[in-house]
Amino acid sequence: MKVLTRSFIKIRKMAKFNVGFSFIIFLAVSCSIEKVNLSPVTESSLTNQGQSKTVKASYDTKKNIIVYSSAISNLIATFPKFRNEAVNKEIANLKFHLKDYLDAMEAYNINGMDRSQRKYEQAYKKIQSLRKHLKPDEDQVLNRYLVSIKTNISLLASNFPKDSLPSSKN
pLDDT digits (tens, 9 = 90+) for 117-161: 999 999 999 999 999 999 999 999 999 999 999 999 999 988 887
Residue 18 lies in a domain: no
Span 49-58, pLDDT tens digits: 544 444 555 8
Distance CA 23, CA 119 (A): 69
Answer yes or no: is 87 within a domain.
yes
Residue at 122 is within a domain? yes
Residue 116 in domain = yes
**Which residue range forms the structural domain that includes residue 117?**
57-159
Q: What pLDDT, in 10s, does the model give residues 25-34?
A: 666 655 555 4
Q: What is the pTM of this model?
A: 0.62
Segment 48-74 shows an average pLDDT of 75
Per-residue pLDDT, 150: 94
In a domain? residue 100:
yes
pLDDT of res. 58: 82
Does 126 map to a domain? Answer: yes
Least confident range of 44-48, 75-79, 149-153, 155-159: 44-48
Please check whether residue 86 is in contact with residue 130, taking contact to mean a CB–CB distance below 8 angstroms: yes
Instruction: Tell me the pLDDT of the chain averaged across its residues.
Output: 78
Query: How far is Cα 128 from Cα 122, in angstroms, rounded to an integer?
Result: 10
Within-domain flag for 148: yes
Q: Where are the alpha helices (DSSP H) in 34-166?
A: 43-49, 52-77, 85-106, 110-130, 136-159
CA separation for the pair 31, 36 (Å, rounded):
10
- Would residue 98 count as lying in a domain? yes
Total domains in the chain come to 1
Q: Is the pLDDT of residue 87 over 50?
A: yes
